[in-house]
Amino acid sequence: MIYLDYAATSPMSKSAIDTYVEVANSYFGNTASLHDEGGKAQALIQEARKIIARKLGVNEDGILFTGSGTEGNILAILSLARASNKGKHIITSIAEHTSVHAAMNTLELEGYEITRLNFTEKGIIDLEQLKANIRTDTALISIQHVNSEIGSIQPVEQIAHIAKENNIRYHVDCVQSFCKLSLLSFAKLVDGITVSAHKIGGPKGCGAIYLNPSLLVKPLFPGVTHERGLRGGTLDTPAIAAMAMAVEKFEYSIHDQNQLRNQFKEALDTDICTWVEADLPHQLPSICGLYIKGVEGQLILLKLNESGICISTGSACDINSASGTKAILAMNYSLNEARSFFRVSFGSTTTNEEIEQVANRLNKIMAEENMRKAPFT
């Protein structure tokens, strides 16, 4: 089996698994309990909070643990929007993660007006378009760091400065970029950040958000007692400890990932296969967005799966969408091109041999499809 769907999830690292097992066995107390077992678990949680805060370069008091990146996005966006006294206008992009759109849909039902920006042809936000859509009642901006479908890197530091200049709160979905790119240049400038464990070798069902502790943020469910009253439920101590271990141990080499990407490009028949990507400074190399004109992306996925190769047709959270991926549509590609889209994403253990095998299989599939479509002579 060749696994090239790391943007959807990654296998747990051995160190994260070992940590999970050890903590599950030895730190089973409820972190809210006042006895010694509860205190031991609480101390472990606090250490994990410090590790994640150091990685982000933010105050540990702002780190709150969640059950996923999806929950984190929803919790952060709804909390920040509802706590603002500026108005009920929000700016986001068409190509955000499904969870961001879910939060926006909820706020629309509450009377908020949502402006959803397109991408440029290079897959990034146009800063002038962003500025042009800011209003006196704009309360929140939520624009991702790295797009999960095509890997484009958004100009989040510039957006953070624009938000500050206009006294607008800014939330950034950093699920795809966390531990792969440095967030230090903008983390202290924003009001909310979402991260997740399972993209970096940690457990599924565990994530974290940063909410600026200087802000008075209203809880979604008044009366809950965990995580400063902003999220209910007993904390999953083993998962949180395993996430912290994954953060400390995760390695990502831009150089190595660029080499794999270049090798993949050179091995593919580019006369048939079209890449959907940003320019080099704005591209995470490990996420490759492509399409083959006239061939459904799901067909490519299934044919590769028959050969033991795992890829995707975009975000796993959009698997039931009939319209294709959001990013390519945000770049003004056609609906047919969007339905032809598929994604190949590398991990730290991806090898050159695997890239060659996948490229050869894709070239063969493309040749077979061209033969099938050729008219009889």
Rounded Cα gap, residues 208 and 144, in angstroms? 15
Residue with tokens 């903590």: 23
Nearest residue to 206 (alpha-carbon basis) of 369, 310, 68: 68
- Scanning the chain, the segments in alpha helix (DSSP H) are 14-26, 36-56, 69-83, 98-109, 127-132, 156-165, 237-249, 254-267, 297-306, 326-330, 335-339, 352-373
Active site residue 317: yes
Nearest residue to 144 (alpha-carbon basis) of 135, 155, 134, 133: 155
Alpha carbon distance, N-terminus to C-terminus of the chain: 39
Nearest residue to 60 (alpha-carbon basis) of 203, 206, 200, 227: 227
CB-side exposure of 203: number of CA atoms within 13 Å?
A: 21
Strand partners, 89: 113, 138
* Backbone φ, ψ for residue 7 (5° rounding): -70, -20
Q: Which residue of the set 174, 206, 310, 317 is catalytic?
A: 317
Question: Which residues, at least 6 apart from 29, have a Cβ–Cβ distance to it below 8 Å?
Answer: 35, 36, 37, 38, 39, 40, 41, 237
Q: What dihedral angle (degrees, nearest 10) is formed by the CA atoms of 357, 146, 272, 266?
A: -50
Chain center to CA of 258: 19
- Give the torsion sign (CA, 369, 3, 333, 336): positive
Please, are residues 189 and 164 in contact by the beta-carbon 8 Å criterion? yes
Please, are residues 148 and 5 in contact by the beta-carbon 8 Å criterion? no
Rounded Cα gap, residues 36 and 38, in angstroms? 5
Q: Would you state the structure tokens that stand for residue 101, as one six-digit string? A: 């759109």
Please, are residues 80 and 209 in contact by the beta-carbon 8 Å criterion? no
Catalytic residues: 317
